[in-house]
Structure 1
């Protein structure tokens, strides 16, 4: 039976400390940069549409980058992939900070910056099982998830003040510095390991994609885990409707901000509780039930709850959504080491895609139903229809013990 690890134990591992610190300061820099880009584009155009489109450009390239570039984490040494990705992003973000850069150039550079995110993320996810084993790996993944969520909250909260103080150009320069620091920390703090797959152009991108998809499809456990992870497409809808829902219950920007913060806060709490207080074998058994639990509270939006109740429902949903950590760590353990980068790229891109589809569906459906509250609950009920068979599939194939 796998013993329960502690945060003190995993932070005693030098390689994990390097990965964690690089992640923390990069996340903070990225959120400040997103605010800076929105402010910069709005100042240049005076339009509310272009900042929104620019913000979307910080997410959409991952849909392409994951499947096409995630496999680099298998073909080349993973530390080298992370360091090179950081160096490329540092140089390109520095270009974004140049005063007066034409907006078409800014958009093109931003797309390339985000494409470079895909191999980094895949390499980081693929190298972590080599750094930590057993329940330490799960807790390490939990630590990174908590760091990511807190970093996003802090980065967005402080980003406006930072940009107001130093300006958008310097804010982007600050983000470039965080990528450079990350590259140095990873280069010095993570041990060099040989590539797990064949390097070079011998294997075509299409063949690698096909092999990664085949690996997932042939294993019922991997298929079930991907299905459970992609339920996030139903859970994300309240985020896209936070502003109109706040207006529906008589609130404004502050109400919307609290609603947006509630779900990530729940995730942080849930990840901590699961990672620190729940035994590994129990976490594995709870994956399906928690996937359902992430959706069920959202159905209660049918009753148009006031801010305290709505925030409580979102916190509860977020706590249950922490199952994603167990699902992702189990997924990575089941995938052969030589294919982890490609498989992670495919599954991760699908996760981004279903979240985008969920946001679009929510935006279209609210135009038909006329009520954000009704829209959230209807999509949640549809999510339960999908989640029940996904949960049953996992129950039939789940390993009896942690891997």
Structure 2
């Protein structure tokens, strides 16, 4: 079977996500992602248990999770140039091998707690480079049209599903093997990912380099990404809803206590948002045309946080779960926005732009969690979540207006953005009609 992307028009028997699995390289990327995600989930659970067992400190145990998020900003800002400067397959395989080596060192009985935390930090620094390179590689494999949007969506669905089942499976695993043994499993998953990417994807040249030092090249890319009004507006609209949406998740335990539903209620509250997200993305990706997904981006992004305002009346468990599921379903706006983002970013900048996107998304969610926790020290949880819904809706509406305004500006190629996007939407709509939608 050919490695080349399969166009929608060439696959009349397949619609939605099924088209993706006809492409051999995407199958390799998908399986590699599943393996690496499994490794990350297992390592987080195992490290938390291991560090707590060695120190008896809840603070250090919790720090293992924080160290999985905080270094994203460093890696995204200072190392993003790797994604464009070197051949993408080499970068992906090297990142997996490095992560496998870190996991192997963690599994050694002689590795102290400080070493465990440092190695966890090293994996987190590498992660944005790996994720950004993989996102950019998807455009090489799937093109920058509707197949790319569906591919990104499917990987997000897998990631959200891991929230629902991954940590439970990790806990079950630790009843069978010790934490350091689980870390050896993590090492194997990274090795499996590296092999899939090495032998399942084609070698492609680097996207470009200006010959400057890596750090300068990376920072220059970040400045270009954030300095472009159109790209900046799209990035902020991709980041803003998740920043506010983490508030009810971060405060699920105190809210369950506030309404008196106990520990079981905490789990249900934390599951509601990812369930809604998965349902919304599956529906948008399989039932809506590319044209329709583009039309609903700005209205949906503006309203996705509005269901959180139901917390103003301190709802019980079921109404709160429904509100969270509705808010999660609104995340389907990202399918259309992903397409606009790829269209706006020059190909030579794509790897760095994707890395900045990944790093910013993780960092801003961490900031959102911290701010929600801080606010909950002074106000009731229901008040904090309501405020997140109100402020988030105002911010998203303002950003949606900015995204709409930037359509009038010209791209680097000299073609008006609005015209370019409309032509793309019409083309995809035609392709979708041919395949039966």
Provide the TM-score with structure 1 as the length reference.
0.94
Once the two structures are TM-superposed, the CA of residue 376 in structure 1 deviates from its matched residue by 0.3
1:296-307 alignment runs, 5 A limit? 296-307=306-317
Once the two structures are TM-superposed, the CA of residue 363 in structure 1 deviates from its matched residue by 0.9
SS in 1 for 2:205: coil
CA distance in 2, matches of 1:212, 1:101: 36
CA contact (8 A) 2:17 2:285 kept: no
Residue 311 (str. 1) matches residue 333 (str. 2) = no
Which residue of structure 2 lines up, in the alignment, with residue 400 of structure 1? 422
Which residue of structure 2 lines up, in the alignment, with residue 11 of structure 1? 21
Once the two structures are TM-superposed, the CA of residue 395 in structure 1 deviates from its matched residue by 2.7
Which residue of structure 1 lines up, in the alignment, with residue 40 of structure 2? 30
Which residue of structure 1 lines up, in the alignment, with residue 179 of structure 2? 168
CA distance in 1, matches of 2:95, 2:340: 26
Residue 156 (str. 1) matches residue 191 (str. 2) = no
1:70 is aligned, of 44, 69, 80, to: 80
Residue 254 (str. 1) matches residue 273 (str. 2) = no
Once the two structures are TM-superposed, the CA of residue 39 in structure 1 deviates from its matched residue by 0.5
Which residue of structure 2 lines up, in the alignment, with residue 383 of structure 1? 392
CA distance in 2, matches of 1:6, 1:380: 32
Alpha-carbon displacement from aligned partner over 1:112-167 (angstroms, at most 9, x marks no partner) = 12112122111101110110132111111111111111123221121111112112
CA contact (8 A) 1:24 1:151 kept: no
CA distance in 2, matches of 1:204, 1:31: 31
Once the two structures are TM-superposed, the CA of residue 283 in structure 1 deviates from its matched residue by 0.9
Which residue of structure 1 lines up, in the alignment, with residue 365 of structure 2? 355
CA distance in 1, matches of 2:217, 2:137: 23
Residue 117 (str. 1) matches residue 127 (str. 2) = yes
Which residue of structure 2 lines up, in the alignment, with residue 46 of structure 1? 56
Which residue of structure 2 lines up, in the alignment, with residue 225 of structure 1? 234
SS in 2 for 1:193: coil
| Root-mean-square deviation over aligned CA pairs | 1.9
Once the two structures are TM-superposed, the CA of residue 8 in structure 1 deviates from its matched residue by 2.1
CA distance in 2, matches of 1:197, 1:22: 25
Which residue of structure 2 lines up, in the alignment, with residue 278 of structure 1? 288
Once the two structures are TM-superposed, the CA of residue 203 in structure 1 deviates from its matched residue by 4.1
Residues 24/305 of structure 1: CA separation in 2 closer, same or farther (3 Å cut): same
Provide the TM-score with structure 2 as the length reference.
0.87
Residues 189/100 of structure 1: CA separation in 2 closer, same or farther (3 Å cut): same
Residues 333/79 of structure 1: CA separation in 2 closer, same or farther (3 Å cut): farther
CA distance in 1, matches of 2:269, 2:424: 35
Which residue of structure 1 lines up, in the alignment, with residue 414 of structure 2? none
CA contact (8 A) 1:281 1:401 kept: no
Which residue of structure 2 lines up, in the alignment, with residue 206 of structure 1? 216
CA distance in 1, matches of 2:214, 2:51: 38
Once the two structures are TM-superposed, the CA of residue 170 in structure 1 deviates from its matched residue by 1.0
1:292 is aligned, of 290, 296, 302, to: 302
Runs (5+) with no aligned partner, structure 1: none
Which residue of structure 2 lines up, in the alignment, with residue 241 of structure 1? 251
Once the two structures are TM-superposed, the CA of residue 84 in structure 1 deviates from its matched residue by 0.5
Once the two structures are TM-superposed, the CA of residue 235 in structure 1 deviates from its matched residue by 1.3
SS in 1 for 2:49: helix
Once the two structures are TM-superposed, the CA of residue 252 in structure 1 deviates from its matched residue by 2.0
Once the two structures are TM-superposed, the CA of residue 57 in structure 1 deviates from its matched residue by 0.7
Residues 270/189 of structure 1: CA separation in 2 closer, same or farther (3 Å cut): same
Aligned pair count reads 400
CA contact (8 A) 1:28 1:154 kept: no
1:171-210 alignment runs, 5 A limit? 171-198=182-209, 202-210=212-220
1:316-335 alignment runs, 5 A limit? 316-335=326-345
Once the two structures are TM-superposed, the CA of residue 305 in structure 1 deviates from its matched residue by 1.1
Alpha-carbon displacement from aligned partner over 1:240-287 (angstroms, at most 9, x marks no partner) = 101101111102221111111111111111111111111111211211
Residue 146 (str. 1) matches residue 157 (str. 2) = yes
Runs (5+) with no aligned partner, structure 2: 1-7, 408-417, 426-437
